[in-house]
């Protein structure tokens, strides 16, 4: 109960912050996208990771207003970055959606309103939502409709932590999904494990066969990056390319690409 009250107050007092982690093209190392990751600047405990408060936020439903703040803040920054960037490659901005948010009936209305408030040119910004297999499989029909409606608003859909949930290929085939993010548990041991290599190669082939962009997360070493690139993965994300960082640091990267 205490943390619940504190989460309420945190929203009012604007103690949440977004960090952004770079996502790069496997072939060139160029920054193509960023993932928004929530932090809580707690007045006493300092910077808290979402694993410390998202479960409570989920249980209490507070994830809905917190999630709306995350989407709004990401839209605001996307609008700003869209204006800063002068390349012809749109910058991807992706936001995580919790299972509860995905099942919330007014998610689409909220996103629609925010996309109208913070307009960004689709040539400059590609906005995505990340959902897990588990979130989608809770109510597949409702999830499919919501994801399609978000897509109709111009957003892309990514399946996060792919390979750790229990989605069936039959659903994946029907689902409006644009990207697969291969979970970092398959990346961790990829330098030594031929099995992990085989899994990543196969999942990447599957994703490409379904016209999806394939992303590997948790890339920590140059060797992992090299192997993932040779397995035809499109995009890479992980500490090797950059930690989640405050917007000012990211902005420096955007203005100074190399």
Residues that bind ligand G (CB under 6 A): 21, 37-38, 49-51, 54, 67, 70, 96, 98, 160-161, 184, 217-220, 238-239, 244
Write the binding mask 194 to 233 for Na ion: x where contact by CB under 5 A, - elsewhere.
-----------------------x----------------
Binding at 158: pick from ligand G, Mn ion, Na ion, none (beta carbon under 5-8 Å per type): none
- Residue 128 touches which of Na ion, ligand G, Mn ion, none (Cβ within 5-8 Å per kind): none
Alpha carbon 183 to its chain's center: 12
Enumerate binding residues for Mn ion (CB under 5 A).
Answer: 96, 130, 160
* Closer residue to Mn ion in complex, CB, 6/244: 244
CA 204 to chain centre: 18
Contacts by 146-154, CB closer than 8 A, 24 or more apart: 146/102, 146/103, 146/107, 146/108, 147/102, 147/175, 147/176, 147/177, 148/176, 149/108, 150/107, 150/108, 150/111, 151/176, 151/178, 153/108, 153/111, 153/112, 153/115, 154/115, 154/122, 154/127
Smallest distance from Mn ion to CB 47, Å: 19
> Which of the stretches 144-152, 154-162, 222-230, 238-246 binds Na ion when contact is defined by CB under 5 A?
154-162
Q: What is the DSSP letter of 92?
A: E
Report what 220 binds from Mn ion, Na ion, ligand G, none; CB cut-off 5-8 Å by kind.
ligand G
Q: How far apart, in Å, are the Cα atoms of 214 and each of 26, 59, 176, 183, 220?
A: 10, 31, 15, 11, 18
Query: Binding Na ion by CB under 5 A: which of 6, 160, 234, 247?
Result: 160
Return the number of the residue (123 or 155) whose C-beta is nearest ligand G.
155
Cβ at position 21, least distance to ligand G in Å: 6
- Ordered DSSP codes for 195-208: HHHHHHHHHHHHHH
Q: What beta strand segments (E) does 112-186 contain?
A: 125-132, 156-162, 179-182
Name which of ligand G, Na ion, Mn ion, none residue 126 binds, using a CB cut-off of 5 to 8 Å depending on partner kind: none
Alpha-carbon dihedral angle through residues 251, 252, 254, 256, given to the nearest 10 degrees: 160
Q: Which is nearer to ligand G, 83 or 142 (CB)?
A: 142
CB of residue 187 to ligand G, shortest distance in Å: 8
Q: How far is the CB of 177 from Mn ion (least distance, A)?
A: 14
Closer residue to Mn ion in complex, CB, 6/160: 160
Please state the closest distance from residue 201 (CB atom) to Mn ion, in A: 22
Q: Is 158 helix (H, G, I), strand (E, B) or coil?
A: strand
The bridge status of strand 156-162 relative to strand 125-132 is: parallel
Binding residues for Na ion (CB under 5 A): 160-161, 217
């Amino acid at each position: 109960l205490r943390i619940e009250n504190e989460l309420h107050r945190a929203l009012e007092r604007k103690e949440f912050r977004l960090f952004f982690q770079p996502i790069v093209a496997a072939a060139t190392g160029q920054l193509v996208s960023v993932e928004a990751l929530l932090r809580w600047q707690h007045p006493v405990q300092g910077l808290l990771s979402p694993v410390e408060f998202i479960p409570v936020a989920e249980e209490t439903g507070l994830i809905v207003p917190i999630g709306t703040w995350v989407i709004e803040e990401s839209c605001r920054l996307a609008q700003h970055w869209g204006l800063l960037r002068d390349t012809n490659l749109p910058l991807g901005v992706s936001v995580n959606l919790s299972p509860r948010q995905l099942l919330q009936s007014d998610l689409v209305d909220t996103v629609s309103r925010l996309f109208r408030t913070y307009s960004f040119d689709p040539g400059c910004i590609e906005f995505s939502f990340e959902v897990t297999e588990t979130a989608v499989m809770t109510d597949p029909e409702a999830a499919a409709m919501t994801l399609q409606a978000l897509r109709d608003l111009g957003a892309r859909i990514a399946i996060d932590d792919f390979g750790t949930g229990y989605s069936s290929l039959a659903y994946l085939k029907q689902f409006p999904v644009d990207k697969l993010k291969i979970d970092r548990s398959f990346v961790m041991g990829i330098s030594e494990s031929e099995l992990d290599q085989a899994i990543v190669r196969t999942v990447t082939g599957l994703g490409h066969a379904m016209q999806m962009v394939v992303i590997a997360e948790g890339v920590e070493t140059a060797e992992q990056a090299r192997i993932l690139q040779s397995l035809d993965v499109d995009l890479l994300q992980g500490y090797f390319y950059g930690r989640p960082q405050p917007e000012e640091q990211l902005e420096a990267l955007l203005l100074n690409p190399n």
